[in-house]
Structures are given as structure tokens and as C-alpha cells.
A and B are shown apart, each in its own frame.
Chain A
Amino acid sequence: MTKRIQHWFTLLVSVLMLSFTLSAFASETADDKTRSERLGESSVQGELAGFAGADYWRAVRDGQEGYTTSKSPEHGVLISVPGQAWFILKEKWMSPLGALAIFGSIGLVVLAYFTIGPLRLSKAKTGRKIQRWSLVDRTLHWSMAFTFLSLAVTGLALVYGKHFIKPIIPRDIWAMFIYGAKQYHNYVGPLFAILLFTVMIKWWRKSLFTKVDIKWFMKMGGMVGKHKGSHPSADFSNGGEKALFWLLIFCGVFIIFSGFVLDFPLFDQTRRDMELSNLVHMLASLVLICGFVFHIYVGLVGIEASLEGMVTGEVDETWAKEHHDIWYEKVKDLPENQPKSETSSKLDDKS
């Protein structure tokens, strides 16, 4: 009895299993059929529409990697479409908008010169000199200024040169010029990085924001409109100088790291990495160039007697009192800032 039940049970299980397997087979073949039909259809359509449309083509467009004997980087990828996005962003958006931003900034400072006008000292210079920038500070500033400006010029030449310079100069000169611009940019770039980190270490402490700076910003630095000439208080650096410093550091760090990725193609960085770096590099540089158009305006003509501090290292007592009153109070009693009478006529000769 038990044997018969066992026998029947085995048979039942076998039948069940068989039917399961068969149905699985059946559905598999059905799936295969529809898939091949679908593929056949799409590839015929693909062939009719040139070469596009099939699943295969889609996989290729997604950058599927295959095998190749070529040892060049990324050569296993048949087609890599994202470069298109980079090229449209760079050529169709960044280039024209960047030109607009730079010319816009220059236009604004020209406008400021004619409408607001430079900020003159309200009292006459006393002739008493206050030490402001040491030789190290000034060297750092002017090395930075030189590398920054020359890198900006060569960088802009690499972006816009083909539109504005190439058409007006002979081919050989253009070849030399644009090659020189790239080489200069690539080799002086790292120098800028070193200078920027030195500047950061040297000047970060005097650039920390305080409550005084909020008031300075509320009065628009005493440069514009009804506040013009009101001279809000400031320590060694005023709010504007501090903001510019941190803008330089912030954008500078982006510029340096993206520039590093672009400058040294030694670390297996992909095309995508370099495209992204290129966009970051251009955007951050653009912000800095526009920012420094205003810095240069303020330093050269916007505020009377600003330049001499960075050239000679000393500023006039009146200038110090008006623009950096808190700092003036701190340093006016220092021995090196006492009126030069007979002891050091050497410095007097300069003024």
C-alpha cells in the first residue's frame, strides 16, 4: 500500500516538474521570437533611416566599450557623445557670454568713472607717511598681478584669438603667437598656483570679516551715491578688499585644480574629466577677470592715492585716516610712522 502511494506520488511530482519545465521552455521560445522580431523590425527601420534607431546603435551611443588593439586612451569606446555637450556649452554659450561679461565690466567702470567719478581725498595730504605694505607684500602683489594679467591675456587669446586676432595677422605669426600663448599659459599657470597659496597664507588673517565690514557694506564702501565720501570705518583691509581677497582664493582654488587636470594629462584622466575641468576653469577665470577689472579701476583711478601704497609701501596720513581709520589709530604711534624730521631724510626725499 505504502509502496503504491509512493509510486503515484513520484509520478505526480515528475509530471508536475515536466509541465513546469515545458511551460518555461514555451515562454522562453515565445520571448525569443518576439525579441528577434522586434530586433529585425528595428534594424530594418534603422537601415532605412541611415544607421540610427536600433538597440545596438543606442548601446553604441551610450558609449559602450569594446575590445580594440589600439593602446590609445579610451579607444575601446566606439562613440562618445557627451563631448558634444561640452562643445556647445563652451563655444555657443561660454564664449559669447564671457565676452559680454568682460566688456560689460569694463563698460561699468568707464560708466562709474564718468558718473560717480574718482573718490578724492577730502583733506590735503599731510606729508606724514605711514608704513602699509612691506617689500615682501609688494613683491607678492606685483608678481601675482603680472602672472594673473598675463595668464588672463593668454587665456582669452586661446578663447577669442581665432575670432579677433587670426583674421588680421599673417598665418606664421598667428602660429607662433597662439603656440606661445598655450605654452606660456601651461608653464606659468603652476607659478600662479604657488603665488596664490603664498598670498593666502600671508594675508588670510587680515582678511577675516568683522562687524565693521557689515557697516562698510551698508554704506557701499563710501564710494557710491549719497554715501560718497562718507568714509565708513575700516581696519587694515576694508570690506571690499576682504571680499575681493576671498573671491580670489575661492575662484583661484577652482582654477588651480581644474588647470592641473588640464595641464598634466598624465594621470589617466578621461575626456569627460578634462571637459568638466575646462568648463570650471573658464567660469572661475571669468568671474575673477570681471572682479579684477573693478579692482584695477579702484586701485588706479577710482580712489585717489591708493596706488602709491602698493608702489612705495607707504601711504599718506590723510589717506590712512580716511580709508582705514581703525588701522590708523593702531599704527600711528609706532616708531616707524613718526614724522620724519632730521633722522631719516632719505625717505622724505621720495615724497
Chain B
Amino acid sequence: MASMKFLCDSKRCIECNGCVTACKNENDDALEWGIQRRRVVTLNDGEPGESSISVACMHCTDAPCMAVCPADCFERTEDGIVLHDKDLCIGCGYCLFACPFGAPQFPKQDAFGERGKMDKCTFCAGGPNVEDGSAEEKEKYGANRIAEGKLPMCASLCSTKALLAGDASKISDVYAERVVARGAKNAGWASTADLSYDASKPQES
């Protein structure tokens, strides 16, 4: 029983949007025009204290989307990944209202702006009630790297290793090592001061 999580190191994220592109490319068969499952948000853009964070579905342990869905289409896998069944999704938008991260998105190509089947990050774990790695799964949900023993594409391709994906205890160990052993102060989602590293200046201890 793992508990799969994402973690983004705001000190390392350089807003290259590589994770966005990696995700879009990996899950392309399932993604309709205009939908990107992952996004990078830059706060204080262009000002001192600028910092960026990559965000998608956070696969909450107590997921609000799961609680409000009228069709009850969500399920949590044994790895702690929150997946949704597109056969059951009715496109009501309740998960979007409840989600703090703005992860659920809806294709809107029908009449009256009617929402289509919801789409969100699957932790590259495909979807429920389809055969792992099948063409149907790829068409509906995108890649299933978890079934191949791989981690999500976004984190795997992150050039600065800001975005970590994996079992919560493993990635928090990686992060703790950065903070404690390697001196990366303010590396979490908790930084405003001194983001850029300037080798010409003496470093504060």
C-alpha cells in the first residue's frame, strides 16, 4: 500500500513548463483541445520573490471531488491514486467546484457550453474499468506508466527535479534531505525571499 503524491520544490521550479509539455505529450490521445492536466503557476511574476509551482490533481487522501460526485465515478487505487471513470462521469462540474487545485477540466464543445466528460491528471495510471495499457485506456485516459512500473511523465522529465512524484514517504525523504543535509532553505511551498542563486554574493547561512 503506497500513497502516491506529487511534491513541487518551489526553489527549484524554473517555470520551464516542461512538465506541462511532457504530460500533454504522454496523454495526448485522451486530451481534447484546450485541456492541459498540469499547469505551472507563477506568483509575483516579474517581481522580487517570484516563485513558481507546478500543479495538477494532488490525489488527495480525503478527496472532495470523490465526496461530491453525483455519479460516484471516482475511486482510489491501492496506490492512493484518485481515478475517475469516464463512463460514469456526467459532466456536472461539481468536482470542479469542490477541488481546491482547479484540477478537473471539461471539454466544452457541445451546445450551450455543456460540459463534456471531466478530465484530470491520472498520475499516469490510466483509468478504472479498462484493461491496463489497452488502446481503449489510452484513448480515454492517456498513458498508464504505473502499470509499467514507471512514475508519471511530468516528474520523470522535470529538468531541475523540482517536481517529485512517488510514494509520500519516499519523496518526503528526498525533500527532507535537500532541506536538512543539503541546506536548501525555503524549498517547499513556503518561500518568498531570495529565490535566485547568485554565486557572486556571499550566501547567508
Which A residues have a C-beta under 8 Å from some C-beta of B? 36, 39-40, 42-44, 46-47, 50-57, 59-60, 64, 66-72, 74-81, 83-84, 86-87, 90-91, 158-159, 161-162, 166, 171-172, 174-175, 178-179, 181-183, 186, 262-266, 271, 274-275, 278
* Alpha-carbon gap, A43 to B44, bound state (A): 18
Nearest-neighbour CB distance to chain B for A89, whole angstroms, equals 11
Query: Is A43 touching B186 in the complex (CB atoms < 8 A)?
Result: yes
- Contact A171 B190, CB 8 Å, known A72-B102, A162-B70: no
Nearest-neighbour CB distance to chain B for A177, whole angstroms, equals 10
* Alpha-carbon gap, A178 to B94, bound state (A): 14
Query: Is A66 touching B45 in the complex (CB atoms < 8 A)?
Result: yes
* Alpha-carbon gap, A75 to B190, bound state (A): 20
* Alpha-carbon gap, A42 to B179, bound state (A): 15
For A70, what are the chain B residues with a Cβ–Cβ distance below 8 Å? 20, 36, 39
Nearest-neighbour CB distance to chain B for A194, whole angstroms, equals 16
* Alpha-carbon gap, A78 to B96, bound state (A): 14
Query: Is B190 touching A56 in the complex (CB atoms < 8 A)?
Result: yes
Query: Is A278 touching B97 in the complex (CB atoms < 8 A)?
Result: yes
For A86, what are the chain B residues with a Cβ–Cβ distance below 8 Å? 97-98
Query: Is A40 touching B185 in the complex (CB atoms < 8 A)?
Result: yes
Nearest 3 A/B pairs, CB to CB: A266-B113, A70-B39, A46-B190
Query: Is B97 touching A178 in the complex (CB atoms < 8 A)?
Result: no
For B108, what are the chain A residues with a Cβ–Cβ distance below 8 Å? 265
- In the complex, besides A72-B34, A171-B87, 10 extra interface pairs with C-beta distance below 8 angstroms are A43-B191, A47-B179, A69-B17, A77-B41, A80-B102, A83-B64, A162-B69, A162-B72, A166-B72, A175-B71
* Alpha-carbon gap, A51 to B7, bound state (A): 10
Choice from B36, B91, B99 contacting A83 with Cβ under 8 Å: B99
Query: Is A47 touching B43 in the complex (CB atoms < 8 A)?
Result: no
* Alpha-carbon gap, A36 to B4, bound state (A): 35
**Range of interface residues on chain B?**
35 or more
Query: Is A67 touching B41 in the complex (CB atoms < 8 A)?
Result: yes
For B68, what are the chain A residues with a Cβ–Cβ distance below 8 Å? 87, 90-91
Choice from A66, A83, A265, A275 contacting B113 with Cβ under 8 Å: A265
For A81, what are the chain B residues with a Cβ–Cβ distance below 8 Å? 100
Question: For the complex, is B171 an interface residue (Cβ under 8 Å from A)?
Answer: no
* Alpha-carbon gap, A175 to B128, bound state (A): 14
Question: For the complex, is B55 an interface residue (Cβ under 8 Å from A)?
Answer: yes
Nearest-neighbour CB distance to chain A for B40, whole angstroms, equals 6
Query: Is A66 touching B34 in the complex (CB atoms < 8 A)?
Result: no
Closest B residue to A67 by beta carbon equals B45
* Alpha-carbon gap, A262 to B91, bound state (A): 12
Query: Is A72 touching B90 in the complex (CB atoms < 8 A)?
Result: no
Instruction: For chain B, residues 75 to 119, give those with C-beta under 8 angstroms from any C-beta of chain A.
Output: 87-88, 90-94, 96-102, 105, 108, 112-115
* Alpha-carbon gap, A68 to B102, bound state (A): 13
* Alpha-carbon gap, A40 to B101, bound state (A): 27
Choice from A44, A79, A264, A274 contacting B185 with Cβ under 8 Å: A44
* Alpha-carbon gap, A120 to B1, bound state (A): 67
14 contacts across the A-B interface (CB closer than 8 A): A47-B190, A51-B189, A56-B192, A57-B189, A69-B20, A72-B39, A76-B41, A87-B64, A179-B71, A182-B90, A263-B112, A265-B93, A265-B113, A278-B97
For A84, what are the chain B residues with a Cβ–Cβ distance below 8 Å? 64, 98, 100
For B179, what are the chain A residues with a Cβ–Cβ distance below 8 Å? 47
Question: For the complex, is B130 an interface residue (Cβ under 8 Å from A)?
Answer: no
Question: For the complex, is B181 an interface residue (Cβ under 8 Å from A)?
Answer: no
Query: Is B34 touching A171 in the complex (CB atoms < 8 A)?
Result: no
For B115, what are the chain A residues with a Cβ–Cβ distance below 8 Å? 265
Instruction: For chain B, residues 156 to 205, give those with C-beta under 8 angstroms from any C-beta of chain A.
Output: 179, 185-193
Question: For the complex, is B57 an interface residue (Cβ under 8 Å from A)?
Answer: no
Nearest-neighbour CB distance to chain A for B204, whole angstroms, equals 9
* Alpha-carbon gap, A278 to B94, bound state (A): 9
Query: Is B44 touching A83 in the complex (CB atoms < 8 A)?
Result: no
Query: Is A56 touching B39 in the complex (CB atoms < 8 A)?
Result: no
For B55, what are the chain A residues with a Cβ–Cβ distance below 8 Å? 78
Nearest-neighbour CB distance to chain B for A36, whole angstroms, equals 6
Closest A residue to B44 by beta carbon equals A66
Question: For the complex, is B31 an interface residue (Cβ under 8 Å from A)?
Answer: no
Question: For the complex, is B135 an interface residue (Cβ under 8 Å from A)?
Answer: no
Nearest-neighbour CB distance to chain A for B56, whole angstroms, equals 10
